[in-house]
Amino acid sequence: MLPTPNDARWLAAAARLALRGRPASHPNPAVGCIIVKDGCVVGRGWTQSGGRPHAEAMALATAGDAATGADVFVTLEPCAHQSDRGPACADLLAAARPARVIAGQRDPDPRTAGKGIERLNGAGIAAQAVECPESAASLAGYLSQAKLHRPYVTLKLALSLDGCIAMADGTSQWITGAAARAHVHSRRALADAILVGGGTWHADAPRLDVRLPGLDARSPRRWVLTSHAIDGVQTIASPADIALIPAQYLYIEGGARTAASILAADLVDRLEIYRAPILIGGGRPAVAEIGLAELAQAHDRWQPVERRTLGPDTFEAFVRTRGES
């Protein structure tokens, strides 16, 4: 049974809260939990650094006795397996005696998969796992690893109006303005790992870190797509090796060839485009050949999910439309 519109609103709020745990919760998923009683929030939490405590434990700690008889909204089914780092969240919730527990996604981990809900129902608590789009989006990296056995991949491109990422001689600093560049750093801070192509690495020597006040410690691990070893940096030889990168969220910044190789391999889950109001004319295109045999193959691949203005520039995000894999 799908949640009521009001339940859906609380699940969406829990999904936004879950972002606070990303990517520090790695290797655990970043989960958000909100406890509501009489229409008021009495507890909330998100997965902490290193994966513990879990979101439910944090929310229950803040709610205290108010959790009894309350409604619990959590983005992922409460875990049912014991750990040397703490009790199962399903057991913590059962002890707290809320009236209801609504999970935005069933946990694909076989140690829990349905068992968390069953345990709560067995304890007399009305619990269910529903398919909440906001919960799924907030858990995209975790679900990608579970279902596709690879990170959730975001490809970032900064373009001119005529689709160029650089002048003909390779000059690319700066196409976009300060607000757009700061936004890129905020996006980097949500990734476990960042990847560039070997050409970009050798030509620009990018730092690939997060340079925002208070977020410098959130810089992702650096990877380079190249067939040659590079001191101090992890490398992969081809897009097929992306599955070897130990991350839930991979952020890719690269030149036309890197972008093309990842797109041609159909590994991009989210496309983020920063477009500056400039014309370059005769510059370097954003994406090289990706192997389309006919124009019809280009349609119905991308769904727009976000658009905003960043100073003079425009940011647009698209997610890949694909069936279940």
For the chain, where are the alpha helices, taking DSSP H only? 5-18, 55-63, 89-96, 115-122, 133-138, 140-148, 178-188, 198-204, 256-264
For 139-177, where are the alpha helices, taking DSSP H only? 140-148
Catalytic residues: 56
Q: Do 278 and 314 touch, CB atoms closer than 8 A?
A: no
Q: Do 153 and 252 touch, CB atoms closer than 8 A?
A: yes
- Give the C-alpha separation, 104 to 76, whole Å: 6
- How big, in percent rounded to 5, are the helix, strand and coil portions of the chain? 30, 25, 40
Instruction: Give the largest Cα separation in the chain, rounded.
Output: 69
- Give the C-alpha separation, 314 to 32, whole Å: 30
- Give the C-alpha separation, 316 to 303, whole Å: 11
Give the β-pairing of 249-253 and 152-159. parallel
Angle at 215 between CA 210 and CA 218, to 5 degrees: 65
Q: Do 271 and 303 touch, CB atoms closer than 8 A?
A: no
